[in-house]
Amino acid sequence: MVVSFSGLQVQDKETEEVLGLINRSLFENLAEAILKGRSEDIFPLVDSLVSAGIDLRHFYSGLIEYFRNLLLARISPDPARLLLLSEEEVKHLQQIAGDFQGEELLRYVLMLQDGEAGLRYSSQPRIFLESWLIKLSCLKRLKPLEEALEEISGMTGKATTATSPSPDYQPVQNENQFRSKSPVRSPEMGPAKKNQVASARNGPSIFNQEKADELYYRVVREKPALAPILKMASRVETEAGLIRLIFARDRKHFAELVQQNLAYLSRVAGELSGLAVELQIEEMGPPSPKASNNRPPTTIRESGGEAIKNNSEEARALLQDPKARALLDTLKGQVIAVRKKPGPEKN
């Protein structure tokens, strides 16, 4: 068949074309670009493959086999027995592989195998091949873990030397020595100040209660969405092994969300301070400080009569009614008039 194609004088190039073989020099050139990290050579080499009409998937399988031969030539004591190549070709492979460790060549072989499936099913095989081979060429720039750790240790040692104290610096030997040289005494702190200092490790005091603040900042770290709901509590009380979260009636929906996480809150409070968490809803929500500052004094007027102050019997009776107070607090309103319900007419 080859003779009929090329005549009596058969050339190697013509034989390769007839049999569909790929010139070994193409594998060597591409392998050299990968092993030496020459990413800029990848595009011209792939372009030469496409121009020569070589099937890229078939070429990629041959490239995997070529790197396998390099690995075999590097680690096998007798590669000529396992490679169906001439003695000169085996020596050439050993010469190329001699500059690399067996682990490095194994990494190339494994990565080439990982990319085979992607190239086979890619709708753009040329782009995939170029990208994958460039990725392989970048492996040369990676440093071994031991070398990277040594560099980090060296940088740490330099930083320690740069920040070491001067010989003239004399640290305080003990606390008593420092106190003897400093006659100034810090003032004593009240309970509120102590709570703020205790919670300074986490952040500013939220509830002015050390245990409650610890619970809050633990919730901030573990359940950030729950923390703002806890801040909606009207007040927090700590007593007799309990952290009591008290919500106003108009914030009952927040209390219901806290109720769903009450088991979690009790567990965390128990871990932090050995306390349990209790939830309480006020019958009448306390008036908001801002609203009380901006709202004028409540005045009740009888129909057709003069203004009645809050200290009158009618005003007190109305303002002390739980239903009326709950309605006023919910609507943020005030009473401006009162009208007595007319009784049944007598005949």
Distances (CA, A) of 187 to 123, 184, 194, 195, 201: 77, 9, 12, 16, 21
> Reduced to 3 states, what is the DSSP secondary structure of residue 279?
strand
Secondary structure of 81-129 as H, E, C letters: HCCCCCHHHHHHHHHHHCCCCHHHHHHHHHHHHHHHHHHHHCCCHHHHH
Q: Under CATH, what is the fold of the domain 2-141?
A: Zinc Finger, Delta Prime; domain 3 (1.20.272)
What is the residue extent of each domain of the chain?
2-141, 191-281, 289-331
Q: Please say if the pLDDT value at position 296 is more than 70.
A: no
- Residues of the chain with pLDDT > 90: what percent? 18
Tokens matching residue 196: 């703020």
Find the mean pLDDT for residues 71-82.
Answer: 89
Answer whether CATH 3.30.300 is correct for domain 191-281: yes
pLDDT band at 242 (very low <50, low <70, confident <90, very high): confident
Query: Tens of pLDDT along 256-267?
Result: 888 888 888 888
- Choose the most confident range, by mean pLDDT, from 2-11, 27-36, 203-212: 27-36
